[in-house]
Amino acid sequence: MIAPPDGFVLQPGQTWTATARGLSYGLRHWSDGANAAYVVLEDGSVVSIQTTPTQGKGHNSPLLKGAAKFPVPATAPVAHSIIPWPRHVATTGSRIAPVGFELHAKGPLATRAGQAFANLTAELFPVEAIVRPASEAGMPVHVVEKAGLGEEAYELSFEENSATVSATGYSGLFYGLVTLGHMLRGARQYPGTFTFPTGGTISDEPGFKFRGSHLDVARQFYTGAEVSRLIRIMAWNKMNKFHWHLTEDEAWRLEIDAYPQLTEIAAWRGHGKALPPLLGSGPQATGGFYSKKTVREIVALGESLGISIIPEIDMPGHFYAALQALPHLRDPAEKGEYQSVQGFPNNSLNPAHEPVYDFVNNIVDEVLDLFPAGVFHLGADEVPLAAWSGSPLALDMIERMGGPELRKKHEAQFNQLGNHHGADEIEGSPTALIQAEFIRRVHKYIAGKGAVTGGWEEAAHGDAVDKSNSYVIGWRNVEINAALAERGFDIVVSPGQRYYLDMANGVSWAEPGAGWAGWSGPQETYEFEARDGFSEEGLKHLLGIQSCIWSESMTDRAIFDRLVFPRLSAIAEAGWTVPERKSWERFKALVGLMPIMYGNWAAE
């Protein structure tokens, strides 16, 4: 908020220029800076005003939006268009591509998988009619259950005018059909580039069991239909974990029966509301939340496509929105103010305030009832170093755990960091000590419900989670992943430098996106190898990889397409295809056939 000097009157025809200094980070890309603005007049009325993208030094090129185009070449390095690329391809012959498939499923799993594939292709490619009856020239595809393969493994065999999908598990049957769908679309749309075989086999299974994508729906809200489309695109990329980041400082997005204030108050931003306009939202009320009915529909969709839906309720930090709605969760005697690295004041649940645990337990109960995958991701990231330094309850807790000297150290944090953008908590600090106690207690409750706890890497501080029924996501840098695995934590690799899809595609000012972790173009993202740096023992704890779609920069959907595609497919292939089978040249020749979220592949 910027106010004019006292007594200032803007005369008709005149302008007033205000300069903001002291940014917490330098501007790197055109999507940085102000994305929305409004003026509050003396009588309290509000006038929306237009903003223009911030101009970078020396910038004179068009601002880039929409997914960058990856044209399908006249000659490709391989005969078939398949992403992720399979483990073994030994096909023979070539025929004119069939117009579609007639599915002949044997057994209950095969029938379910065939129906899921038919539904998926009808949604993603409604005009292509990939599944069709024999009366419309559908080529017979036999879907059969076969013992002895892994849950996600499959085999394809080809004849002159038919194909067979064989697998042991439901996911394997489904993925085999998806591979056939890829091959069909390539051969139909680019018959001079790709072929459809008349013989031979493909056998395949994934390199990692955890192949995920996260979506932050708090900074920007995505409707249930949008979330469903992303899940379908993930399934077409053979990804199997959807990490739904439902809460943040900026909003709470999940209906909770016990606390209707969370969606009545904390799901909305606007002028005069408990949450002000942020990240491109204007003065009008904007936001939304997911009803339990919508959640159940999305969970069922994910289940049908082999995707587990993992909810995240980020705690104890990143909790500003919920604390605005439920102020009784604060220590009533807390004084002063600390700030998060993003600038939110007093944004963390207090581990020393007993009503917090009744609240958290109720949240865990309702969330686990909604999400049958049996995983509760509790976040645990980016608690400010000075958090709770003005809370008598927290200071007493620190003294009980670490003695009076540790209490004095934490009280001093407020003098050093209060009213500033505080550094994140660091392992061994007083903040980390009592956060670990909070995580330990919440984790025990989650485990008592028979569920697994997920967390960002900070959940491992102080060994707060039991390694036998938890996993953590390494995000700050590449090295942290191997280090956590060496300590015995099951790890999902998602370094900001490569797998955070809010990072810009390049250094150019014309590219949208964030830049705190640098940049990662599609090739850099594709060629990153998560296994590098792991010992043989550490690899036993490497579950897989995950892309993270943080939404601060995604103030319009064309920016979403620009940032997410084709990097989502690049990460999907890194999760499925073993390193020796990866090829950037092949991938970039095929990826233009993959579906994207909103628009079409744009021209550069």
Please provide the DSSP assignment of 480-537 as one string.
HHHHHHHTT--EEE--HHHHBTTB-SSS-TTS-SB-TT----HHHHHH--TTTT--HH
List the single range of 1-10, 289-298, 333-342, 417-426 with lowest mean pLDDT.
417-426
Average pLDDT for 487-492: 98
Angle at 265 between CA 414 and CA 434, to 5 degrees: 30
Per-residue model confidence (pLDDT) at position 424: 65
Per-residue model confidence (pLDDT) at position 425: 66
**Residue 104 carries which side chain, given as an amino acid letter?**
H
604 falls in which pLDDT band (50, 70, 90)? very low
Distance of CA 229 to the CA centre of its chain: 14
Of 159-173, 397-411, 417-431, the range with the highest mean pLDDT is: 159-173
1 falls in which pLDDT band (50, 70, 90)? confident
**Residue 159 carries which side chain, given as an amino acid letter?**
E
Distance of CA 10 to the CA centre of its chain: 45
- In the block, tokens 């070539």 appear at 94
Average pLDDT for 181-200: 98
Q: Report DSSP state, residue 459.
A: G
Per-residue model confidence (pLDDT) at position 307: 98
Q: Is 60 exceeded by the pLDDT of residue 419?
A: no
Percent share of the chain, pLDDT over 70: 97
Query: What is the rounded distance in angstroms from the CA atom of residue 144 to the CA atom of residue 365?
Result: 39
Query: What is the rounded distance in angstroms from the CA atom of residue 262 to the CA atom of residue 268?
Result: 10
Per-residue model confidence (pLDDT) at position 428: 76
List the single range of 18-27, 85-94, 366-375 with lowest mean pLDDT.
18-27
Q: Are strands 268-269 and 286-287 parallel, antiparallel or unpaired?
A: antiparallel
> In what side-by-side order are the strands of the sheet with 162-167?
88-92, 199-204, 154-159, 162-167, 139-145, 101-106
Query: What is the rounded distance in angstroms from the CA atom of residue 166 to the CA atom of residue 154?
Result: 6
Query: What is the rounded distance in angstroms from the CA atom of residue 286 to the CA atom of residue 271?
Result: 10
Model confidence over 169-190: pLDDT tens digits? 999 999 999 999 999 999 999 9
Query: What is the rounded distance in angstroms from the CA atom of residue 204 to the CA atom of residue 149?
Result: 10
Which positions ≥6 away from 255 have C-beta within 8 Å? 263, 289, 290, 291, 292, 295
Query: What is the rounded distance in angstroms from the CA atom of residue 68 to the CA atom of residue 604?
Result: 6
408 falls in which pLDDT band (50, 70, 90)? confident
Average pLDDT, the chain: 94
**Secondary structure class of 383 (helix, strand, coil):** coil
Token pair for 267: 């799901």
Per-residue model confidence (pLDDT) at position 418: 47
Which positions ≥6 away from 214 have C-beta within 8 Å? 242, 243, 244, 245, 312, 494, 546, 547, 548, 549
Per-residue model confidence (pLDDT) at position 291: 98
- What is the helix (H) or strand (E) element at residue 547, kind and residue range? strand 542-549
Q: Is 50 exceeded by the pLDDT of residue 230?
A: yes
List the single range of 31-45, 146-160, 285-299 with lowest mean pLDDT.
31-45
16 falls in which pLDDT band (50, 70, 90)? confident
Give me the residues paired with residue 200 across strands: 91
Q: Are 312 and 247 in contact (CB under 8 A)?
A: yes
List the single range of 41-45, 186-190, 404-408 with lowest mean pLDDT.
404-408
Q: Is 50 exceeded by the pLDDT of residue 603?
A: no
Q: Are 431 and 384 in contact (CB under 8 A)?
A: yes
Query: What is the rounded distance in angstroms from the CA atom of residue 350 to the CA atom of residue 370?
Result: 26
Query: What is the rounded distance in angstroms from the CA atom of residue 549 to the CA atom of residue 563?
Result: 9
Average pLDDT for 521-541: 97
414 falls in which pLDDT band (50, 70, 90)? low
Please count the other Cβ atoms lying within 10 Å of the Cβ belonging to residue 427.
11
Distance of CA 69 to the CA centre of its chain: 23
Q: Is 60 exceeded by the pLDDT of residue 417?
A: no
For helices 108-124 and 224-236, the axis angle rounded to 10 degrees is: 120
146 falls in which pLDDT band (50, 70, 90)? very high
Q: Is 70 exceeded by the pLDDT of residue 421?
A: no
Q: Are 462 and 427 in contact (CB under 8 A)?
A: yes
Give me the residues paired with residue 456 across strands: 473
Average pLDDT for 72-88: 97
